[in-house]
Amino acid sequence: MAVCKPWSACLLPAPKGRVCTNYARCVNQILQSSNNMQMWLRVPLRKHEDGDSMDDQSLGGDPIDSWETWNSFRLLCEHNSQLSVALDVLGSLPSTNSLGRWFGEPVRAAIIHTNAFLTNARGHPCLSKRHQKLLTSFFNHSVQAIISGELAHSVLVGPLESATSNAVNHDNSDLGHPLRSYLYYVGYLYQKMDPLPQQELYELSYRDFLQSPLQPLMDNLEAQTYETFEKDTVKYLQYQRAISKALLDRIPDEKSSSVTTVLMVVGAGRGPLVRASLEAAKETGRKLKVYAVEKNPNAVITLHSLVKLEGWENIVTIVASDMRQWDAPEKADILVSELLGSFGDNELSPECLDGAQRFLKSDGISIPSSYTSFFQPITSTKLYNDVKAHRDLAHFETPYVVKLHKIARLAPCQPVFTFVHPDHSPTKDNQRYTKLKFEIPDDTGSALVHGFAGYFDATLYKDVHLGIEPTMPTPNMFSWFPIFFSLRTPVCVRPGTPLEVHMWRCSSSTKVWYEWCVASPSESPVHNSKGRSYWVGL
């Protein structure tokens, strides 16, 4: 009995033991001969760190780690996207890290056994706190809940069940079913979940959807793209805070009425940073002269209309030019830009700001002042299969912007590349190389790395930050989704074995690109060699 929209699929029995080659071969033949046959492999959710268990044997489960059995089975079936998992949820649960692996796998159903339920003071079935948390996480990942097993609680329908029965089954066709009290309890857990925040509701349609990164220098952004970014009020409030602090540091109170600060917004778009700058000047009581530099002719038209509408003609000068070619009439005290991408430097902020730095005073301030990219190994069967469906090398070597959802984060993020502005080094070089070593927690068990999630964190000015790195994201900001770097062949990492990754940022006179590979526990090819599949044009 399910509490969410049911799927149509064939439920396969759990493999018996660790060796399932013949079984997987037969299933793979069916999958290969059918275009839309969905098959769910039943797998017991058990502690990989424990020994044998009667529950596992009765389900035909693997006495070592049922994830290993699932992984062997799906490898034999060539990662077929029509093969999914139905997890048997038993009375005991693995560690939190071990459980986390499954959120990157194609889990379609959680089969909750009646012997997993406890009994509350009234004699009704209930679940432990850990089971409740797991089930709520399953609901958030659109996993169907199924009750299975013998009746273990002899109770009548009580107030809790009466309150939730209509929500679970509107036609009440299950009122005579012996397992109805279990179903009502699961329905109660579903009902009491917190509603999704407004931002998450807005981003629902983007979950696990691969988007090609922007080419900000080669292509002019469309009006709809500008409009989406401009709705992110949090981002521009952070910029306003940074500009306010910079103005206060730059101009002391006694000179606030006599000194005019020259501020240049490079890549002004349709004007939100211009507005944030003028709001900061108003807030701090400082005088400002603004140059709005923008190369997109359509955005320039909107900028002119905005300046006229707001009466900024005496304060704002619009410059229709690429910042790298513009010859500024005077030096700037403050240089403001929003050229950051999901990976920090992937929309060529370093190259653009290096070109614009020539018209910043020697003691001038750049906002942002620095930014760092971050890398994290993840399991994501969904993303891997979506890339694999294109059946070519280029898609595996293209980083995609994506709202990550059905993933397992296997280790904490690590910093990759850092850029600082202004850069006063005598020889500027934006090429980079780094080697990262990730330690997967031992209690996770084995895990399959499908690729890497990329994030950034930027220091706008002093203590004002902006970013999407998972441990310190800017709250309620939606301008950037993470970026996903795929692996052509997923890498299995076992407990105690580090994952070693190499990453390069390369450039030529016309383009910038990334190359990446895994060196341990097994070697992968260097992805995107010489920028053959993906690059950003200068």
Helix (H) or strand (E) holding 512: strand 511-520
Q: Report d(CA 257, CA 152) in Å as an integer.
A: 80
User: Pseudo-torsion of CA 214, 219, 224, 226, nearest 10°?
Assistant: 80
Cα separation, 103 vs 448, whole angstroms: 12
Give the Å distances, CA to CA, from 301 to 221, 230, 318. Answer: 14, 16, 10
CB 55 within 8 A of CB 44: yes
φ, ψ for residue 226, nearest 5 deg: -60, -45
Spacing of C-alpha 87 from chain mean position: 24
Q: What is the DSSP letter of 344?
A: B
Per annotation, catalytic residue among 105, 294, 347, 515: 347
Task: Assign 3-class secondary structure to 277-295.
Answer: HHHHHHHHCCEEEEEEEEC
Q: How many Cα atoms occupy the beta-carbon half-sphere of 487 within 13 Å?
A: 26
Quote the distance between the C-alpha of residue 261 and its chain's center.
39
- Verify whether residue 338 is a known catalytic residue: yes
Q: Please state, in angstroms and rounded to a whole number, the distance separating the CA atoms of residues 283 and 513.
A: 41
Residue that has been written with the tokens 């609680």 in this structure: 153
* CA–CA separation, 396 and 443 (whole Å): 30
Alpha helices, DSSP H only, in 51-119?
54-58, 66-76, 96-100
Name the β-bridge partners of 211. 401
- Helical ranges in 413-452 per DSSP H: none
Asked if residue 353 lies in contact with residue 421, where contact means CB atoms within 8 angstroms, the answer is: yes
Cis peptide before 521 (omega within 30 of 0): yes
Q: Out of 105, 161, 294, 338, which one is annotated catalytic?
A: 338
Q: Can the peptide bond before residue 125 be classed as cis, meaning omega within 30 degrees of 0? A: no
Q: Which of 348, 238, 239 is nearest to 295 (CA)?
A: 348
Determine the angle formed by the axes of helices 297-310 and 272-284, rounding to 10 degrees.
30
CA distance 22 to 326: 68
**What whole-number distance in Å separates Cα of residue 395 and Cα of residue 248?**
48
Integer Cα distance of 433 and 413 in angstroms? 17
Produce one character per residue of 249-286: b if its CB has 16 or more CB atoms within 10 Å, e if not: ebbeeeebeeeebbbbbbbbbbbbbbbbbbbbbeebeb
Question: What's at 391, amino acid-wise?
Answer: R
Alpha carbon separation from 52 to 46, 47, 113, 244, 483 (Å, rounded): 10, 10, 18, 63, 40
Active site residues: 338, 347
